């Protein structure tokens, strides 16, 4: 097996058993990045020298018997995570020269365990997008078909895992930005419950929706990564002080007697036939494993996209006000202060970011605040209550991740509404603040990956990981690799 195709647990076993060193693994991954990066475009910054130094340090740690499961494992981060001394752009020109003075809490946790940072991954600008076409640093391509999008906004994070450029990655999910690219690239992606993982040091898009999560090759790796980054952080006021379970130990329980809800609003007529076929097959697999199915309803689903694009854009308008050309990032030459603000933001932000800032500013403006923003918050409560009510009768929900497999690059970039509808099945989870996971569940007739979404109760990550693991053990979809 190629080193770059290994999972975390496979590579950890090889490192522990001295069959491999972290330096050898990191060197192999850096060579792989160099080889396939021109085709894929997953990375904005590659930190080769830093990675090799960290790998040497990890090898010493392992030799002393002080290693953990993540010691010496080469990982990469979406370029939304602050990394002390390493450029962090958030996919935007406005942050093209920003070197953070501190690191995100989630990366610090991985670094403290001895993980190796290979670099920073491409993304939609400020995490605003579903296709990774809005990055100021070029398009990321899907390793399964380079004429197609990898999904967004964590497109680089999913593509890097699928292309063998990192053993695992971290992304962020505001409306589906981990799960949708995981589905399109054939890997596992988990959006934890809001408050489960610290957002400290993550560049904010929509603060009440953003959540950090892993993208991995299999469910066992997903559990390992979540264990490593989850937990209370006093530096994040939205972090929840609740114990972190042993997610890896919870995997083996099986699904016999598990009650799985099928929300009728997610199995719609417009669903791609290949996606529908994969969902039917997945339901049959779970049934064979002993799970019980219950038809449920989430009646306010139709309002989720509109609600999301009011709340998220309003919060983005507020969060992105700080990028003014004064404190950090791109600064335009101008004759006076007002012109400098205007030019810096006009030159620094891309089309999609400008669109969302304007939408959000309008929704928050005097005379419209109650009609739009306040009303959206009320509808968000209704959507949240739908989930609370449905979970009284089921343990987990099963849905598609996206209505179609990955679409062609350029296909929807000029039609924002069609692009926004790509996240129709993922957005409600963020509005409700609960957890969900995407895992491989089949392929389209054209050989494109299709993901299955498992939605859990708040802080019910153990259950969706257990269900996902049982499904994975009963199928072979996760074993297939993109050929590059």
The C-alpha atoms of residue 216 and residue 220 are separated, in whole angstroms, by 9
Is the pLDDT at 414 greater than 90, yes or no? no
pLDDT for the residue 484: 86
Question: Which positions are catalytic?
Answer: 78, 153, 177
Give DSSP secondary structure letters for 39-105. Answer: HH--EEEE-HHHHHHHHHHHHHHHHTT---TTTT-EEEEETTB-BTTB---TT-GGGTT---SS--H
Is the pLDDT at 270 greater than 90, yes or no? no
What does the pLDDT look like over 179-191, one tens digit per residue? 999 999 999 999 9
pLDDT greater at residue 483 or residue 383 = 383
- Percentage of the chain lying above the pLDDT 90 cut: 94
- With cut-offs at 50, 70 and 90, classify the pLDDT of residue 430: very high
Q: Report the chain's mean pLDDT, rounded to a whole number.
A: 96
pLDDT for the residue 421: 80
- With cut-offs at 50, 70 and 90, classify the pLDDT of residue 398: very high
Is the pLDDT at 419 greater than 90, yes or no? no
What does the pLDDT look like over 444-453, one tens digit per residue? 999 999 999 9
Domains identified in the chain and CATH numbers: 3-258+394-479 (3.90.1300.10), 302-378 (no CATH)
Least reliable range by pLDDT among 72-81, 223-232, 322-331, 444-453: 322-331
Is the pLDDT at 417 greater than 80, yes or no? no
Is the pLDDT at 18 greater than 80, yes or no? yes
What does the pLDDT look like over 138-189, one tens digit per residue? 999 999 999 999 999 999 999 999 999 999 999 999 999 999 999 999 999 9
Whether 75 and 117 have beta carbons less than 8 Å apart is answered as yes
Is the pLDDT at 416 greater than 90, yes or no? no
- With cut-offs at 50, 70 and 90, classify the pLDDT of residue 328: confident
23-27: list long-range contacts, CB under 8 Å, 24+ apart. 23/52, 23/55, 23/56, 23/59, 25/55, 25/72, 25/73, 25/74, 25/167, 26/51, 26/52, 26/54, 26/55, 26/72, 26/74, 26/116, 26/118, 27/52, 27/55
């Amino acid at each position: 097996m190629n080193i770059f195709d290994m999972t975390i647990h496979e590579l950890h076993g090889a490192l522990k058993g001295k069959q491999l060193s972290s330096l050898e693994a990191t060197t192999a991954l850096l060579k792989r990045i160099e080889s396939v990066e021109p085709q894929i475009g997953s990375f904005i910054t590659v930190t080769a020298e830093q990675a090799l130094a960290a790998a040497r340090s990890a090898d010493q740690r392992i030799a002393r018997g002080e290693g953990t499961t993540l010691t010496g494992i080469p990982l990469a981060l979406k370029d939304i995570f602050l990394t002390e001394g390493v450029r962090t752009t958030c996919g935007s020109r406005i942050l093209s020269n920003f070197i953070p003075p501190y690191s995100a809490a989630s990366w610090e946790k991985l670094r403290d365990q001895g993980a190796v940072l290979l670099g920073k991954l491409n993304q939609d600008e400020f995490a605003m997008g579903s296709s990774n076409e809005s990055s100021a640093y070029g398009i990321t391509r899907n390793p399964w078909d380079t004429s197609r999008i990898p999904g967004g906004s964590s497109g680089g994070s999913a593509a890097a895992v699928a292309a063998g450029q990192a053993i695992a990655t971290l992304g962020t999910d505001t409306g589906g930005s981990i799960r949708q690219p995981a589905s399109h690239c054939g890997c596992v992606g988990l959006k934890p419950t809001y408050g489960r993982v610290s957002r400290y040091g993550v560049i904010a898009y929509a603060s009440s929706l953003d959540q950090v999560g892993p993208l991995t090759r299999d469910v066992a790796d997903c559990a390992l990564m979540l264990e490593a980054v989850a937990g209370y952080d006093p530096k994040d006021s939205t972090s929840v002080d609740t114990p972190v379970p042993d997610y890896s130990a919870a995997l083996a329980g099986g699904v016999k007697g598990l009650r799985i809800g099928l929300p009728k609003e997610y199995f719609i007529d417009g669903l791609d036939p290949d996606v529908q076929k994969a969902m039917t097959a997945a339901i049959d697999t779970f049934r064979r494993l002993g799970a019980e199915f219950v038809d449920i309803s989430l009646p306010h689903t139709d309002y989720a996209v509109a609600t999301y694009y009011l709340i998220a854009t309003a919060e983005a308008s507020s969060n992105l006000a700080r990028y003014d050309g004064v404190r950090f990032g791109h600064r335009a030459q101008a004759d006076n202060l007002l012109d400098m603000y205007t030019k810096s933001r006009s030159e620094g932000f891309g089309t999609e970011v400008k669109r969302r800032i304007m939408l959000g500013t309008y929704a928050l403006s005097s005379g419209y605040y109650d009609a739009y923003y306040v009303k959206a918050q009320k509808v968000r409560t209704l959507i949240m209550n739908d989930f609370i009510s449905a979970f009284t009768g089921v343990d987990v929900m099963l849905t598609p991740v996206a209505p179609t497999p990955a679409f062609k690059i350029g296909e929807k970039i000029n039609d924002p509404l069609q692009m926004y509808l790509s996240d129709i099945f993922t957005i409600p989870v963020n509005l409700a603040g609960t957890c969900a996971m995407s895992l491989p569940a089949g392929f389209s007739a054209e050989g494109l990956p299709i993901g299955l979404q498992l939605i859990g109760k708040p802080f019910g990550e153990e259950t969706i990981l257990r269900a996902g693991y049982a499904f994975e053990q009963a199928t072979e979809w996760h074993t297939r690799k993109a050929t590059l």
